[in-house]
Amino acid sequence: MVAFVEESKFRSLQDLFPNRMPISQYLNYIDWFSLLQYIEEHGYCRGGNHFRYDPLLMLKLIVVKCFRQLSYRDTVASLSQEDCYNLGVPLGEDGYHLPAHSTLHHFVKYRLKAEGFEMLMHIIGRTICRDSGETSGIIDSTPLEASRYNKDAVYNPHYQCKMDKAHIFHLGEFPITCCISGGTEADALYALSLVDDVNAMNPKLTAVFADGGYDSFQIHAGISYHLKARPYIDPRDSAVVNEEGTEPRIDHWVNRMWKVGGSIHDPLSMKLRFLYEHGRSEQVGMYLRNQNLLDPSFRETYARRGDCERTHNHIKSIVKFDIRGLRTDSKRLYLLMNFVVYQILLLGHLQNGIRPAQHLAQYF
């Protein structure tokens, strides 16, 4: 335990930025209930007084650490009296009783662990899907740059650096799920796992956008079947209209399966779902890509995909979203931790009706 007595040197930031709000104060406007419920049920032993410090305080300290991009030690040392008050740090006769930096580290690495942050990510994702009102999804990846001395990271010739990758599904401007891969692995390999994650969040999607790296029949079909959304995937230069994806061929295969329930009199959407469920997912993907190739307004609609690179750069400017200086066995933990912190910051804006949600410049 660390007893805080003196005002820290970081206190002067308030004088430098009188019109800005400490991040510790902003955290009081966020609804933490579902996150705390998970932590209390899964991060601690059942029964008895099993935590010394309030889990809410520990979670808020993680947000402060990642937002200010400090070490565990400097996070505790940087807290002003106002920060301690805002965070709800217990106050004793000898000052505020802060957890030691080693206690905060233990909470991250041994209480929550990577699996805990992954579950928090999904809880926040479900909340965003329920409350945001967004109806368009975006799948994209971003490089996680490594040190050039990192022996475990691979060199990506396109980005000209050693790196891993983060594959992210966005709901409008909100990132709702993420997975990590090697730096040269194909984006398409991770699209359907992201779709499965998002499907469990019950989104209300009408369209999902992705670049040409995701142009495969299986991904087209998976998005349509699981998310009930139209896939707007930029077709490759070599893409052509495939005859097997035309409506006469759809009817042909549905009719061939009449013994297992196929009917050419069903609406087209039902026929596509029927074929997907009976081993014809590639044909369903052919049909969906044909629709994009034949749609004269496709380019105009696809432009709504927005600037994902700008969003990814914003994440990296707010939290440490790279693998520089991270050990191989810890990088998943810290990448997920920073991703969850970024989600929490945007969640607060969503809950308080602040748009654009990514405007975080007023906090320090």
Query: pLDDT grade, residue 46 (50/70/90)?
Result: low
Q: What is the mean pLDDT of residues 236-241?
A: 91
Over residues 85-114, mean pLDDT: 94
* pLDDT of 1 over the 60 cut: no
Confidence tier at 5 by pLDDT (50, 70, 90): very low
Summarised one tens digit per residue, pLDDT across range 29-43 is 999 999 999 998 888
Check residue 299 and give its pLDDT: 93
pLDDT of residue 203: 96
- What mean pLDDT is predicted for residues 266-292? 97
SS3 annotation, the chain: CEEECCCCHHHHHHHHCCCCECHHHHHHHCCCHHHHHHHHHHCCCCCCCCCCCCHHHHHHHHHHHHHHCCCHHHHHHCCCHHHHHHHCCCEECCEEEECCHHHHHHHHHHHHHHHHHHHHHHHHHHHHHHHCCCCEEEEEEEEEECCCCCCCCEEECCCCEEEEEEEEEEECCEEEEEEEEECCCCCHHHHHHHHHHHHCCCCCCCEEEECHHHCCHHHHHHHHHHHCCEEEECCCCCCCCCHHHCHHHHHHHHHHCHHHCCCCCCCHHHHHHHHHHCCCHHHHHHHHHHHHHHCCCHHHHHHHHCCHHHHHHHHHHHCCCCCCCCCCCCHHHHHHHHHHHHHHHHHHHHHCCCCCCCCCCCEC
User: What does the pLDDT average to over 290-301?
Assistant: 96
Q: What is the pLDDT of residues 173-206, one digit of tens each?
A: 999 999 999 999 999 999 999 999 999 999 999 9
Note the pLDDT tens digit of each residue in 200-238. Answer: 999 999 999 999 999 999 999 999 999 999 999 999 888
At residue 9, does pLDDT exceed 50? no
* Mean per-residue pLDDT, 274-279: 97
Average per-residue pLDDT in the chain?
92
Tens of pLDDT, residues 306-315: 777 788 999 9
The pLDDT of residue 219 is 98
* Residue 50's pLDDT band (cuts 50, 70, 90): low
Task: Output the pLDDT for position 302.
Answer: 92
- Read off the pTM: 0.93
